[in-house]
Structure 1
Amino acid sequence: MNYLRITKENIDKEHICCAMSNKQSIVKKEWLRKRFEEGLVFYRSEERGKCFIEYIPAENAWMPICAEGYIYINCLWVSGSMKGHGYSSDLLDECIRDAKEKGRKGLCILSSEKRKKEFLSDPGYLVHKGFSVADTSANGITLMYLPFDLDAKPPKFKECARYPKVEEEGFLLYYTDQCPFTYYWVPRVEAAAREHNIRFKAIHITDRDSAQNVPAPVTTYALFRDGKFVTQGIQSDKKFLALAGVKI
């Protein structure tokens, strides 16, 4: 398998794996374009499909974490026919090589306790690759890390992320354009909520400082209900209505 790094010079003509439709791709590409100067790397297979890794210096990550000196992996995704060929290891190995060359302390990434959850990395795979748990939020989302020096201080969640809660009644959603699927589904969930008179508020995070202070361990999509964290999984309109107890 050959791989390609997406840069500001080639991003307009290259696909970005996770967003095949035009409008989703444009929004995601614009988000990426603004992050390249902050050290973001998007590295993918030359073959078209979902096979890529996206990472950034943790100081610039849109995450409420304290991880100075680390690289934060936004997303490591291999799916479909590309699974089972060792491509995940190829992508992770390149990230490790790059991070060491840049003098970083190690890598960190979001995962979950015990089993794989949607839009989070597989904890079993990460443990297999040498990662261990650095911190855990009250809702079971973990921050895992791979230090290059055993004496390196582990990264951790900010307090707002370790104990996720809000004061808002009804549904409250924080989301960013980092994941292109929010562009498609959030407006549809908003419309479904209005149609069924469900109390729903969406907060679109558009800057790094706000993202680093979100009251949840995930910023791409963090859904609360009556103050309590519900899910990091991006909801379709039908899934949201089922979650809200509406029979269709």
Structure 2
Amino acid sequence: MEYIRVSKDNLEEEHICCAISNNKDIQVSSKKAWLADRFDEGLVFLKSVERGKCFIEYIPAEYAWNPINAPEYMYIDCLWVSGSLKGHGYSSDLLNECIKDSKEKGKKGICILSAAKKKPFLSDPKFLAFKGFQVCDEADNGIQLWYLSFEKSVETPCFKECAKYPRIDEKGYVLYYTNQCPFNAKYVPVLEETAKNNGIPFRAIRIETRDQAQNAPTPITTYALFCDGDYVTNEQMNDKKFLKLVNAKAKRKPGDS
């Protein structure tokens, strides 16, 4: 497999989104704008020549848009291999390149979000364990921080206190999100319109700065949906999925789990 490193110089020409073919799509333009501001902070976006169907995106942890403490670590935003490209070792190729690059840059290790069981848009814990990663912290909603250390004696990464117990005070549905994920540019407005048309209390909060992201009330900042203060999911939704969730919660009696 041949890989391309996306940079400021080729960002406009390169295809970066595995499920979006049109580079002029609002989803692509929002993601590219987000990337353009991260390259000077050390972000690396390495993708296959297969129109972005497999890629890795990582950044020095101090610049990560997540509430973590991971000094001198590299943080992996996303490691993604889709469709027919799965099962050919491309995830290992990309991860190995990240490890090599991180070591050359003097990092102590790398870290990434996952969970005990595979969750949408998070790396597979079985793959991470196979590659030598270990869990170093866990929020009470089951989101875990995994790490791979390059040294025997090194401080392990951890979540900031604001992310350990993902809850908020606001009632109704509240969505925290960033433009790091391109799909948000399309589907967040869909949820806003759906909620409005159906009288559902809903507020979308776009995280616009690194400082906001690093102090967010959730380990996952790309997409975190809350309901009446409780964390619900990181799975992006269209109108049908959202209404199904709302209806299911409405049918539950107080005290139901």
Whether TM exceeds 0.5 here: the answer is yes
SS in 2 for 1:88: helix
The reply on whether 1:111 has 2:106 as its aligned counterpart is: no
Structure 2 CA distance for aligned equivalents of residues 81 and 17 of structure 1 = 16
The reply on whether 1:188 has 2:187 as its aligned counterpart is: no
The reply on whether 1:166 has 2:168 as its aligned counterpart is: yes
In 2, are the aligned partners of 1:51 and 1:82 still within 8 Å (CA)?
yes
TM-score using structure 2 length: 0.94
In 2, are the aligned partners of 1:62 and 1:212 still within 8 Å (CA)?
yes
SS in 2 for 1:152: coil
Q: What does residue 50 of structure 1 align with?
A: 53
Q: What does residue 70 of structure 1 align with?
A: 73
SS in 2 for 1:100: helix
In 2, are the aligned partners of 1:41 and 1:55 still within 8 Å (CA)?
yes
Paired residue total: 246
Structure 2 CA distance for aligned equivalents of residues 207 and 74 of structure 1 = 16
Deviations 1:24-77 (A, max 9, x none): 111100100000000000000112241000000000000000001000000000
The reply on whether 1:2 has 2:2 as its aligned counterpart is: yes
Q: Superposed, which structure 2 residues align to 1:73-112 within 5 Å?
A: 73-112=76-115
Structure 1 CA distance for aligned equivalents of residues 147 and 111 of structure 2 = 4
What is the identity, as a one-letter code, of the residue corresponding to 1:85? H
Q: What does residue 20 of structure 1 align with?
A: 21
TM-score using structure 1 length: 0.97
How far did residue 195 of structure 1 move? 0.6
In 1, are the aligned partners of 2:17 and 2:28 still within 8 Å (CA)?
no
SS in 2 for 1:161: helix
SS in 2 for 1:244: helix
Q: Structure 1 vs Structure 2: percent identity of aligned residues?
A: 59
The reply on whether 1:207 has 2:202 as its aligned counterpart is: no
Q: What does residue 32 of structure 1 align with?
A: 35
How far did residue 152 of structure 1 move? 1.2
Structure 1 CA distance for aligned equivalents of residues 88 and 170 of structure 2 = 45
What is the identity, as a one-letter code, of the residue corresponding to 1:199? P
How far did residue 17 of structure 1 move? 3.1
Structure 2 CA distance for aligned equivalents of residues 45 and 81 of structure 1 = 13
Structure 1 CA distance for aligned equivalents of residues 67 and 52 of structure 2 = 30
Structure 1 CA distance for aligned equivalents of residues 129 and 109 of structure 2 = 15
Q: What does residue 226 of structure 1 align with?
A: 228
SS in 2 for 1:245: helix
In 1, are the aligned partners of 2:3 and 2:47 still within 8 Å (CA)?
yes
Question: Is there any run of 5+ residues in structure 1 with no aligned partner, and where?
Answer: none
How far did residue 6 of structure 1 move? 0.1
What is the identity, as a one-letter code, of the residue corresponding to 2:36? R
